[in-house]
Amino acid sequence: MKHARVIFEGREHTGTAHEFNGQPDAAVRLDDGRIVPQEQLTWLPPLAPTPRPRTILALGLNYADHAKELEFKAPEEPLVFVKGQSTLIGHRQFTHRPAGVQFMHYECELAIVIGKTAKNVKRADAYDFIGGYSVANDYAIRDYLENWYRPNLRVKNRDTCTPLGPWFVDAADVPDPMALALKTTVNGTVTQQGNTRDMIFDAPFLVEYFSRFMTLSPGDLILTGTPDGVVDCKPGDVVICEIERVGALINTIQGKA
Amino acid sequence: MTPSPFLPTGTVYGTLLNFRAELDALAPQMTQPPYKAPPKAPVLYVKTANTWSPHGSAITVPSSVPEVEIGASIGMVIGAEGDVEGFVLMNDLSIPHPSFFRPPVKFKCVDGFLGVGPALRDAQEVADPAGFRVEVRINGALKQSIDFSQLVRPAQQLLTDVGEFMTLAHGDVLMLGCDAGRPLARAGDRIEISAPGFETLRNTLVQEAAA
């Protein structure tokens, strides 16, 4: 099942993906039974609120081709950073591009959603702890990259810079998350293509690795990194990050003084 | 009945290099690789919710390390209007690490690695955070005295500079930084972090149980 959280007629609803005009997932069946096309909804990040802030772990350089593009050798250990919960926004929302910036790029990423408390999980058991998946767009503003705790929070932790959605997809509906085609279009032109099979550190590895030193809780997120093909995004650009079986996340860049 | 100790409701951010002595100690390396230049903006990190240890609790030291670094600090707790609602003592533990190039998640986000003071001190009572004086005791012996007039970015400046690139939400906590000379401690040690006007934060360190 594909789950959504949306606002319709001023009220928050949960819902599930529904066919509309012959298009799969083009609408949401709300918790009250009404079927509403995507564009009539205000979308929230698809995860239910958790009792404490969710932990958002994000991978850098987790695809060999992207590591090459950025002139680094592939890391021997996951390169990970942490994001604050308040950078998240939903599907069909706007992401701010600060004035005067030279290079701001999207990063289409498979988001792993932890399903149950995970501590010292073995790789062989890792999938038991994954509740499902979503699509994340982990924007970076490269102008602000400094070599202290890189990528620093001024690059990666900005308001509106982590669209997530549209759906939270149950793990059972994604039989092999390590073989999913992934692509990004900007204004309809394909700019980024890849496959989750090319990850350096795959989902079970990451659950094992993190749970060795930190307890992961239901609703925590692991953003698994992005492949080659990031380009600068300007105000007005419509960026769609799409992952097979998981969904197509639409986001529009907005200028901000 | 004793009230429950305070725990944050939002994201907890720490600040690196916000004490003059800490900045001075690293200054000779700052123009060298991998840093190449001193930082222009506040250098922040996140203490994830799995790190939070309430006042009075035991904090587990991983069996893989002999000692941990005690990072006494004061957190500014953000109110509903984006203002500072109060201040709280914090015991920001790290596994000692030499490099500040990559986010040190596995050294800082270990389970239990943030002791959180028992109670908020209301911001209304505080004339100027530069007046804070914090002491760290290990097994009763004074190990560090921290003078918050030595901040590179004083509290208000830090809030302003962080606000340039992100909004702190209601319930988020922004720590003012940890001074140089952070003491080391090991399993069995009792850590006390105290400051005039604050309820003392106590944590004990315990050895990780054998797997």
End-to-end CA distance of chain B: give it in Å, rounded. Answer: 37
- In angstroms, rounded to a whole number, what is the distance separating the alpha carbons of residues B63 and B207? 7
Q: Is the pLDDT of residue B147 over 80?
A: yes
Confirm or reject contact between B167 and chain A (CB < 8 A). yes
**In terms of domains, do A76 and A14 share one?**
no
Q: Is the pLDDT of residue B155 over 80?
A: yes
pTM of this prediction exceeds 0.90: yes
Q: What is the model's pLDDT at position A64?
A: 80
Higher pLDDT, A152 or A69: A152
Average confidence (pLDDT) over A175-188: 97
Average confidence (pLDDT) over A206-213: 97
**% of chain A at pLDDT higher than 70:** 96
**In terms of domains, do A13 and A101 share one?**
no
- Taking CA atoms, what residue in B is nearest to A117? B50
A74 pLDDT band, cuts 50/70/90, is low
Q: What is the model's pLDDT at position B71?
A: 98
Q: Is the pLDDT of residue A69 over 60?
A: no
**In terms of domains, do A112 and A133 share one?**
yes
Instruction: Look at A72-86, A119-133, A231-245, B20-34 and tell me which has the smallest mean pLDDT.
Output: A72-86
Q: What average pLDDT does chain A have? A: 95
Q: Are B185 and B140 in contact (CB under 8 A)?
A: no
Phi-psi region of B89 (alpha: psi -120 to 50; beta: other; left: phi over 0): beta
**In terms of domains, do A8 and A106 share one?**
no
Average confidence (pLDDT) over A115-124: 98
Q: Is the pLDDT of residue A257 over 60?
A: no
Average confidence (pLDDT) over B173-178: 98
Average confidence (pLDDT) over B9-28: 96
Average confidence (pLDDT) over B23-30: 94
Distances (CA, A) of A30 to A15, A36, A38, A47, A49: 4, 7, 11, 15, 18
Average confidence (pLDDT) over B87-102: 96
Q: Say yes or no for a CB contact (<8 Å) between A147 and B104.
A: no
Q: Is the pLDDT of residue A72 over 70?
A: no
Long-range residue pairs from A29-35, CB within 8 A, at least 24 positions apart, any chain: A30/A6, A34/A8
* Minimum distance, in Å, between the CA of residue B86 and any CA atom of chain A: 19
B93 pLDDT band, cuts 50/70/90, is very high
Partner residue facing B46 (CB), from A52, A82, A213:
A82
Show residues of chain B in contact with A61, CB under 8 Å: none
Q: Say yes or no for a CB contact (<8 Å) between B165 and A153.
A: yes
Task: Please state the domain extents for chain B.
Answer: 12-207
Confirm or reject contact between B82 and chain A (CB < 8 A). no
Instruction: Give the closest residue to A252 by CA, choosing from A167, A137, A141.
Output: A137
Average confidence (pLDDT) over A130-146: 97
Q: What is the model's pLDDT at position A71?
A: 59
Q: Say yes or no for a CB contact (<8 Å) between B102 and A79.
A: yes
Q: What is the model's pLDDT at position B1?
A: 52
- In angstroms, rounded to a whole number, what is the distance separating the alpha carbons of residues A104 and A141? 4
- Report the top-level CATH class of B12-207: alpha beta
Q: What is the model's pLDDT at position B60?
A: 97
**% of chain B at pLDDT higher than 70:** 98
Beta strand pairing call for B12-16 and B121-122: unpaired
**In terms of domains, do A231 and A199 share one?**
yes
Q: Say yes or no for a CB contact (<8 Å) between B48 and A55.
A: yes
- In angstroms, rounded to a whole number, what is the distance separating the alpha carbons of residues A222 and A216? 10
Is omega for the bond preceding A78 within 30 degrees of 0, making it cis? Answer: no
Confirm or reject contact between B11 and chain A (CB < 8 A). yes
- Taking CA atoms, what residue in B is nearest to A146? B39
Predicted complex ipTM? 0.95
Domain that holds residue A20: 1-44
CATH number of A1's domain? 2.30.30.370
In A17-56, the residues whose Cβ lies within 8 Å of chain B are 52-55
Q: Is the pLDDT of residue B167 over 80?
A: yes
Q: Which of A150, A153, A209, A217 to mutate to test the interface with B (most CBs of B within 10 A)?
A: A153
**In terms of domains, do A161 and A35 share one?**
no
**In terms of domains, do A249 and A237 share one?**
yes
- Over the stretch A231-253, which tens digit does the pLDDT of each residue have? 999 999 999 999 999 999 999 99
Domains in chain A, number: 2
Three-state DSSP string of chain B: CCCCCCCCCCCEEEEECCEHHHHHHHHHHHCCCCCCCCCCCCEEEEECHHHEEECCCEEEECCCCCCEECCEEEEEEECCCCCEEEEEEEEECECCCCCCCCCCHHHHCCCCCEEECCCCEEHHHCCCHHHCEEEEEECCEEEEEEEHHHECCCHHHHHHHHHCCCCCCCCCEEECCCCCCCCEECCCCEEEEECCCCCCEEEEEEECCCC
Q: Say yes or no for a CB contact (<8 Å) between A84 and B39.
A: no
Q: Are A201 and A65 in contact (CB under 8 A)?
A: no
Q: Say yes or no for a CB contact (<8 Å) between B100 and A52.
A: no
Q: What is the model's pLDDT at position A153?
A: 94
